[in-house]
Chain A
Amino acid sequence: GQNIDQPTEMTATEGAIVQINCTYQTSGFNGLFWYQQHAGEAPTFLSYNVLDGLEEKGRFSSFLSRSKGYSYLLLKELQMKDSASYLCAVRDLSSGSARQLTFGSGTQLTVLP
Chain B
Amino acid sequence: SQTIHQWPATLVQPVGSPLSLECTVEGTSNPNLYWYRQAAGRGLQLLFYSVGIGQISSEVPQNLSASRPQDRQFILSSKKLLLSDSGFYLCAWSVPGRRSYYMNTEAFFGQGTRLTVV
Contact = CB atoms under 8 A, between A and B. Distances in A.
Interface residues of A, number: 27
Contact of B104 (A40, A48, A104): A48
Interface string A82-112: 0000010101000001111111111010000
Contacts, number: 67
Contact of B111 (A42, A97, A106): A42
Interface residues of B, number: 32
Contacts of B111: 41-42
A102 B96 CA distance: 17
A42 B35 CA distance: 12
A3 to B, nearest CB: 12
A98 B51 contact: yes
Interface in B40-76: 41-46, 49-51, 57, 59
Given A97-B97, A98-B32, A43 B42 contact: no
A30 interface: yes
Given A100-B107, A101-B107, A43 B44 contact: yes
Interface of A: 4, 8, 30-31, 33, 40-45, 48, 50, 87, 89, 91, 97-106, 108
27 contacts: A8-B41, A30-B101, A31-B104, A31-B105, A40-B88, A40-B112, A40-B114, A41-B111, A41-B112, A42-B109, A43-B90, A43-B109, A44-B109, A50-B102, A87-B43, A89-B44, A97-B97, A97-B98, A99-B46, A99-B57, A100-B32, A100-B105, A100-B107, A101-B46, A101-B94, A101-B107, A106-B43
